[in-house]
Amino acid sequence: MHLAAGRAGFFPAPLVLTLGLLLSTPLWIAQVGLYQYLALEIMIWMMFAMGFNLLLGFTGLPSFGHGAYFGIGAYAFGLLQLKVWPNLWFDLLGAVLVAASIGALVGLFISHRRGIYYALLTIAFGQVAWFVANKWHGMTGGEDGLLGIRRLPAEFGVLSFDLAGNNALFFFCLAVFALVLLGLWRLVHSPFGRVLSAIKQNELRASFVGYDVWLYKWLAFTLSTAVAGLAGALFAMAQQSAYPNVMSLQNSGFVVMMVLVGGGLVSFWGPVVGAAFFILARDLLGAYTETWLLWYGLIFMLMVLFKPDGIAGAWQAAMEAWRRRNRSAAASSGEGAAMRMAVARGGADEAV
Amino acid sequence: MKLFEATGLSKRFGDQVVLEDITLACDEGELVGIMGPNGAGKTTCFNVLTGRFRPDRGTVRFAGEDITGLAPREIARKGISRSFQIMNLFDDYCALDNVLIATPQVRRQGFNPWRDLDADSTAKDRAAEVLASVGLAGKERAAARSLSYGERRALEIGVALAAEPRMLFLDEPTAGLGAEGTARLTELVAQLRRRLTIMVIEHDMKFLFGLADRISVIHWGQVIAEGTPAQLRQNEWVARSNLGVLA
């Protein structure tokens, strides 16, 4: 199957379900022993993973340095707020533009590649960003990070909403997440998304039917870094700080694992599932053992070995098996009824 | 003026000379065949003509315009389409989507982020027409990877046709097909030649000599003989060579 199969509804059921579930978290999250900030963090990672999957799942381009753009968004948000203008809209837009511009620049150097060479180049550029964040003390705060980032109020003319609390920030991020999700959903079902998927399947053929493959790959990378930058900015706001750690190779690996475990290669919704699974595993396993990542790594290995299509792939396979069973049950009950009718008719004939 | 003209094409990979001073031409509406033994340079020649490789020397002109060294996408947009010897399809897509993505209407909308292709009945009808024209009516929703070998060959041509080309390059279209499949494909190419200019590489001599207006023989990267099928039947080298049984 390909990821963008079928007609795209404006509000598909999984979108409504995801947003509904997130929206309802303030009602039940404390009752199950979790906390609102966790839901906020899950949502931000979902956004990051969804943007990343535009590149990995839909275009087939493996970026293993995407944490850099998440981090660039976080730092840009903080620096714009602290050094330029502390306005939420300006800082958010600025963070997205800075991440997308650096992504666009990096994209110029890597978009003629694919496969392992593409992956290696993304790692190299990611490490450059991580190194700069670590060493440029005057600008980024070095290893101490950028502290004192505020949760600025969302201002709509005369109206102003305070986002200082976790609940308020959660609802604000949920609104942003809904817009990103809807935008990505429409994008992958548009001709643009179809071309990305065609490039993933057969780059050579795509170029021979007239597509500028390089340009599409560059755009996919740039868009993906823009979403990563937005997620990073919201993360900086949530954490009220930005650290070089978010740009690390390890963090870049986390988003890859989220997408693969969730099933981003076979489903648009895979990263949503994967991000939730990862952050919950971190918190729940982490409550019992410091070596939670070891156990998560084992789950990841088992997934790759036995369910390479991830959780979403396993769900799709189960639904397909269920549908097949129903079809064969319906067919056999139809045959049974036909046989009973034939027997009844035969008996009647004999009586006559 | 010829519709398509390649003059003095040369190509080498390292020390290996693959094409040497190749000259080929095609009039509008003609079907030109290319034959030669394995490793003669036929596919490399196609790759140079359609932009996959840049020639070291020589020029390629199409409809009076110099297209030497242009990228495949630019050449495709000028009206040249091709099929491949080793099949190149969008395997995860269904047959209809394979054709749909290649149509100029969809290509022009390629950067439109909001249009829903599945809701575009005009583009889908056009793609279904193309599929029907290559004998794949009823297979619209079948995944490309699930089609039979012969059907995949037909789809390969369908994808090339969907781009609405003025000239079509076919690289060994009957390769791997049985007698029945070859007969169906012969019929399809015979239909296509009524509306398109075609250049075809083929090992099946019956197919080639039955359809081509003119044939060029390539060996060791050079054109060693050319002419009408009747002329080539008289050619001593072709008659002696082990290229297959002449029709």
Per-residue pLDDT of chain B (247 residues; tens, 9 = 90+): 799 999 999 999 999 999 999 999 999 999 999 999 889 999 999 999 999 999 999 999 999 999 999 999 999 999 999 999 998 999 999 999 999 999 998 999 888 877 877 778 888 999 999 999 999 999 999 999 999 999 999 999 999 999 999 999 999 999 888 898 999 999 999 999 999 999 999 988 889 999 999 999 999 999 999 999 999 988 877 777 655 454 4
pLDDT band (50, 70, 90) for residue A350: very low
Q: If you measure CA to CA, which chain B residue comes closest to A10?
A: B116
| Nearest by Cα to A231 from A286, A165, A196, A181 | A181
**Chain B interface, Cβ < 8 Å to A:** 50, 71-73, 76-77, 81-82, 84, 88-93, 97, 100-102, 104, 106-107, 109-119, 143, 159, 162-163
Using the Cβ of A352 and the Cβ atoms of chain B, whether some distance falls under 8 Å is answered with no
Q: Are A259 and A37 in contact (CB under 8 A)?
A: no
Whether the ipTM is more than 0.85: the answer is yes
Cβ distance A204 to B88 less than 8 Å, yes or no, reads yes
Question: Residue A130 has what pLDDT?
Answer: 97
| Distance in angstroms (rounded) separating the CA atoms of residues A40 and A42 | 5
Cβ distance A207 to B71 less than 8 Å, yes or no, reads yes
| Distance in angstroms (rounded) separating the CA atoms of residues B103 and B164 | 7
| Nearest by Cα to A267 from A325, A223, A312 | A312
Name which of A2, A6, A209 is nearest B102 (Cβ-Cβ): A209
Question: Residue A10 has what pLDDT?
Answer: 75
pLDDT band (50, 70, 90) for residue A75: very high
Cβ distance A187 to B113 less than 8 Å, yes or no, reads yes
Interface test with A, best of B96, B111, B161 (most A CBs within 10 A): B111
Interface test with A, best of B47, B49, B93 (most A CBs within 10 A): B93
Which domains are assigned to chain B?
A: 1-79+165-247 (3.40.50.300), 90-164 (no CATH)
Question: Residue A342 has what pLDDT?
Answer: 66
Question: Residue A352 has what pLDDT?
Answer: 37
The HSE-up count of residue A202 (CA atoms within 13 Å, CB side) is 22
Question: Residue A196 has what pLDDT?
Answer: 96
Token pair in block for residue B161: 């046709």
> Residue B29 in 3-state DSSP?
coil
Cβ distance B101 to A194 less than 8 Å, yes or no, reads yes
Question: Residue A333 has what pLDDT?
Answer: 78
Interface test with A, best of B106, B141, B167 (most A CBs within 10 A): B106
- The burial class, CB within 10 Å (0-12 / 13-18 / 19+), for A330 is exposed
> Residue B75 in 3-state DSSP?
helix
Q: Are B100 and B107 in contact (CB under 8 A)?
A: no
| Distance in angstroms (rounded) separating the CA atoms of residues A136 and A133 | 6
Using the Cβ of A216 and the Cβ atoms of chain B, whether some distance falls under 8 Å is answered with yes
Contacts of A186 in chain B (CB under 8 A): 113-114, 116
Residue by residue, DSSP assigns B82-119 as E--SS----TTSBHHHHHHTTSHHHHHTTT-SS--GGG
Contacts of A1 in chain B (CB under 8 A): 92, 143
> Residue A150 in 3-state DSSP?
coil
| Residue range A156-165: mean pLDDT, rounded | 94
Contacts of A179 in chain B (CB under 8 A): none
Question: Residue B115 has what pLDDT?
Answer: 81
- For A85-102, how does the pLDDT look when each residue is reduced to its tens digit (9 = 90+)? 999 999 999 999 999 999
Summary mean pLDDT of chain A: 93
How crowded is residue A72: how many other Cβ atoms within 10 Å of its Cβ?
28
Helix (H) or strand (E) holding A242: strand A241-242
Cβ distance B118 to A7 less than 8 Å, yes or no, reads yes
Q: Is the pLDDT of residue A177 over 70?
A: yes
Q: pTM, whole model, 2 decimals?
A: 0.91
Cβ distance A197 to B92 less than 8 Å, yes or no, reads yes
- The burial class, CB within 10 Å (0-12 / 13-18 / 19+), for A292 is middle
| Distance in angstroms (rounded) separating the CA atoms of residues A1 and A3 | 7
Q: Are B242 and B58 in contact (CB under 8 A)?
A: no
| Residue range A154-165: mean pLDDT, rounded | 94
| Distance in angstroms (rounded) separating the CA atoms of residues B205 and B221 | 20
Token pair in block for residue B226: 């050319």
Question: Residue B20 has what pLDDT?
Answer: 96
**Amino acid letter, B74:** E
| Distance in angstroms (rounded) separating the CA atoms of residues A237 and B93 | 41
Q: Is the pLDDT of residue A47 over 50?
A: yes
Name the β-bridge partners of B215. Answer: B33, B227
Helix (H) or strand (E) holding A241: strand A241-242
Interface test with A, best of B46, B73, B124, B145 (most A CBs within 10 A): B73
Cβ distance A190 to B114 less than 8 Å, yes or no, reads yes
Cβ distance B117 to A191 less than 8 Å, yes or no, reads yes
Q: What percent of chain A has pLDDT over 70?
A: 93
Top-confidence residue, A346 or B188: B188
Q: Is the pLDDT of residue A194 over 60?
A: yes
| Nearest by Cα to A37 from A161, A151, A169 | A169
Cβ distance B101 to A208 less than 8 Å, yes or no, reads no
| Distance in angstroms (rounded) separating the CA atoms of residues A313 and A327 | 21
pLDDT band (50, 70, 90) for residue A256: very high
CA distances, A133 to each of A71, B119, B187 (Å):
9, 47, 66
Q: If you measure CA to CA, which chain B residue comes closest to A3?
A: B92
Size of the A and B interface in Cβ pairs below 8 Å = 97
Question: Residue A1 has what pLDDT?
Answer: 45
CA distances, B240 to each of A39, A246, B243, B246, B247 (Å):
79, 71, 9, 11, 14
- The burial class, CB within 10 Å (0-12 / 13-18 / 19+), for A78 is buried
Find the DSSP H helices in A142-247: 166-189, 191-201, 203-208, 213-239
